[in-house]
Amino acid sequence: MDSETKTRRCPLWVKIVLALSLAVNLCIAGLVAGFILRGGPLAGRAPAMGYAMPYVLALPRDLRREVFGAVRNDDSLPDRRARREEYRDMINAMRATPFDVAAVEAVLLRQAEGVSRVQAAAQAAWLEAVTSLSDDERAAYSQRMEEALKRNGRPKKGKD
């Protein structure tokens, strides 16, 4: 008598699901590995180096805090609530039918004026901080500013 050994075979659909799962997992692992090896989403692409960034990044930590604090505590400058309101005004102007170009321009002008006021306050605070430096401190500051420019604004880890 033939002894038939019954072997249970895995259904085809289970094999397909497992293969797809493995493929997806390998794709995700590849993306994560690439992300880590490249250094993150901004690797090789420094944030925009606004005109002030090399100046600010090169300041010693205590002076940097003073400059930022002076701007943050200036009550004549637009606060977050005011800036959010300007964005809401822009959203409303963009949704308006018919489209009112003058309303959009008015919001843009108000926002530009606010940015200009913040920049003027920051420049005044920075100038006051730099004026307080001795000749040696100013020379060291200039060196740090030059280094910040060479690094495209990326601060050194563990440095002030």
Give the model's pLDDT for residue 72: 86
Based on the structure, what is the number of domains in the chain?
2
How does pLDDT run across 54-106, given as a tens digit for each residue? 788 788 889 989 888 888 888 888 888 888 999 999 999 999 999 999 999 99
User: Is residue 160 a part of any domain in this protein?
Assistant: no
Give the model's pLDDT for residue 46: 47
Same domain membership, residue 93 and residue 35? no
Pick from 22-31, 112-121, 149-158 the range whose average pLDDT is largest.
Answer: 112-121
Q: Rounded CA gap, 29 and 63, in Å? A: 44
User: Is residue 21 a part of any domain in this protein?
Assistant: yes
Same domain membership, residue 111 and residue 140? yes
Same domain membership, residue 112 and residue 62? yes
How does pLDDT run across 58-69, given as a tens digit for each residue? 888 899 898 888
Give the model's pLDDT for residue 4: 62
Residues of the domain holding 71:
53-150
- Report the predicted TM-score, pTM, of the whole model to 2 decimal places: 0.58
Question: What phi and psi, each to the nearest 5 degrees, are found at residue 105?
Answer: -60, -40
Give the model's pLDDT for residue 134: 93
Same domain membership, residue 66 and residue 144? yes
pLDDT at 53 over 70: yes
Three-state SS letters, the chain: CCCCCCCCCCCHHHHHHHHHHHHHHHHHHHHHHHHHHHCCCCCCCCCCCCCCHHHHHHCCHHHHHHHHHHHHCCCCCCCHHHHHHHHHHHHHHHHCCCCCHHHHHHHHHHHHHHHHHHHHHHHHHHHHHHHCCCHHHHHHHHHHHHHHHHCCCCCCCCCC
Q: For the ranges 8-17, 36-45, 68-77, 93-102, which has the lowest average pLDDT?
A: 36-45
Sorting pLDDT into bands at 50, 70 and 90, what band is 50?
low
pLDDT at 33 over 70: yes
Q: Is 67 exposed, middle or buried (0-12, 13-18, 19+ CB in 10 A)?
A: buried
Q: Rounded CA gap, 142 and 145, in Å? A: 5
How does pLDDT run across 122-152, given as a tens digit for each residue? 899 999 999 999 999 999 999 988 887 787 6
Same domain membership, residue 69 and residue 32? no
pLDDT at 47 over 50: no
